[in-house]
Structure 1
Amino acid sequence: MYVEPPPRTRSWFHQPFENIDSTAARPGSILLVPVGSVEQHGRHLPVGTDTMLVGSIASETARRVTDEIPLMVAPPVWSGHSPHHTSLGGTLSVQHRTLLALLEDICETGMQYGFDGLAILNGHGGNKPTVGSLTSSVGETLTETEVLGLTYFDLAAPFVDDYRDSETGGMSHGGEFETSLMLHRYPDLVGDDRPATPHDEPYDHGLQDMFDGGPVSVYREFEAYSESGAIGSPALASAAKGEALFDAVCEELNALIESMHTRLA
């Protein structure tokens, strides 16, 4: 899979079982599980964008945390709930109940080795309800552990206006935000066909932008919003902007992991 791996000593995928067990046995140990999707992101971004970005952020954060924090990063779960994207092609979607059951099994299996905390790091907006349900269901089962669920781009909400050049709607699906991150981390996979497509949601209280969610949830096939498959202002993206946003998000996640470890140790 074309996803940057975490440092080998923190990568579940690259360790023999005894190393995983010894990491879990240390005080304040944390298992980080990234969750993405495979879905269309317009003509200029690959369908694996969500999984690549959430995996990359998890990997970079694993590099930044201090050696004193026993952290293990699971391989990214690439399947996500994306039925609204299937009509445009290239999308591999699973049902909410299927994704929830899969993640419950992965998390509960991983936690049985003795980790003190579990953090589920989501990279796809359509997975948010599932991750919310997962945090409750796994937390109810694993009563002796701390279970956190979050979506990585929500960490950028307090500072994203310091970097964006687009108005509200420009940082929507495949827009300025995601395209900037991809230009920073995977520039060879970013195409040049980046038309601006306004986020035209008729309900004022509906989703207007990645950082302007609104209280109303609406289901529509994505073709109702965009002919290209993307929404927003991808032409305003830049690698420099992506680097700054990526660094800031990783610092936020790093601080959260450190706080979690302190509580658990």
Structure 2
Amino acid sequence: MKRYWLEMTSPDHAALPENTVAVLPVGATEQHGPHLPVGTDCLINSGIVSAALNKLGDDVPAVVLPLQPVGASQEHLDYAGSLAHPAPDLMQSWTRVLDCAVRSTGLKRILIFNSHGGQAGLLATVALDQRVRHNILGAYATWFEAGYPEGLFADDEIRTGFHGGDIETSLMLALHPELVVMENLGDFRSSVDEIEAGTQQLSANPGGGRVGGLGWKAQDLNADGVTGDASRATAEKGRALLEHTAASLAALITDLANAPMPSDNWPPEKYRA
């Protein structure tokens, strides 16, 4: 079964089952410190999607749209190699791709699958827009919302090591070890704890009782543009996380393939003009 949009013929697309889930992978091209490539978010996204597809049964139709490699990465633009779209332009780009996919195939179930934290807040708006424009199921997910296997990563790393630390470096060691510059691994301490020590409600990473977030640039948290202890990373941890996250994505795709469609008969008669 062909699963990738770019590998399918036009007749293949026309013959897709009605409950096919179209997955739009959205990544980023941005610095990940001195040890990881600028394509880390894209490579992680592709690795998780590939592993998830291997877990899907043949009775779950899904097709993967072309990866969108440039994201909302303005916080990294002071570092060489980083690319970015302004958020409104990026949302419009995603929308145009999805509009074409829906119009050209009649697909009614879409999933935006994200691997860059800096654009996670844009996903729900685009998914809702697809629901409103096309009366389809519009869903979204960011890979790290699946959580982490118990005991795999330290609590402080999960809280503040969200860019190029143990978590992402472990995944890259599992997926693309040849691209990890091992001699540059280190403990890239985040200033999140320092910021929170002098404030009551302000944080660079709000939540857990902190309501105020900062619009930070990468260097505000660490001069190397990394947050987290990459020296703790191992391929074994990366493989365990990949398995965990891929299973979650496969279950989500299955949920969407089996979910009932929104009603076309709306609004009820009493609300109609």
Counterpart among 110, 130, 154 of residue 138 in structure 1: 130
Provide the secondary structure at the position in 1 that maps to 2:96: helix
Structure 1 residue runs of 4 or more that deviate by more than 3 Å after TM superposition: 211-215
What's 2:268 paired with? none
Quote how far apart the aligned CAs of 1:207 are.
4.0
Counterpart among 108, 118, 134 of residue 110 in structure 2: 118
Deviation per residue, 1:43-63 (Å, 9 max, x gap): 000000001111221122122
Say yes or no: does 1:254 pair with 2:246.
Answer: no
Partners of 1:80 and 1:99 within 8 A in 2: yes
What's 2:228 paired with? 232
Counterpart among 178, 181, 191 of residue 168 in structure 2: 178
Quote how far apart the aligned CAs of 1:216 are.
2.7
Instruction: State the TM-score, normalizing by the size of structure 2.
Output: 0.86
What's 1:220 paired with? 216
Which moved further from structure 2: 81-90 or 211-220? 211-220
Q: Which has the larger radius of gyration?
A: 2
Q: Structure 1: which 5+ residue stretches go unaligned?
A: 1-7
Instruction: State the TM-score, normalizing by the size of structure 1.
Output: 0.89
Letter in 1 for 2:177: P
Quote how far apart the aligned CAs of 1:236 are.
0.6
* Structure 2 CA distance for partners of 1:48 and 1:102, relative to 1, 3 Å: same
Letter in 2 for 1:141: R
Partners of 1:170 and 1:176 within 8 A in 2: no
* Structure 2 CA distance for partners of 1:212 and 1:76, relative to 1, 3 Å: farther
Partners of 1:10 and 1:73 within 8 A in 2: yes
What's 1:200 paired with? 191
Percent identity over paired residues: 24
Aligned residues: 252
The RMSD of aligned alpha carbons is 2.0
Provide the secondary structure at the position in 2 that maps to 1:121: strand
Quote how far apart the aligned CAs of 1:251 are.
0.5
- C-alpha distance in 2, partners of 1:194/1:212? 29
Say yes or no: does 1:187 pair with 2:180.
Answer: no
Deviation per residue, 1:210-229 (Å, 9 max, x gap): x9795433112211211222
* Structure 2 CA distance for partners of 1:208 and 1:198, relative to 1, 3 Å: farther
What's 2:143 paired with? 152
- C-alpha distance in 1, partners of 2:222/2:169? 16
Q: Structure 2: which 5+ residue stretches go unaligned?
A: 262-273
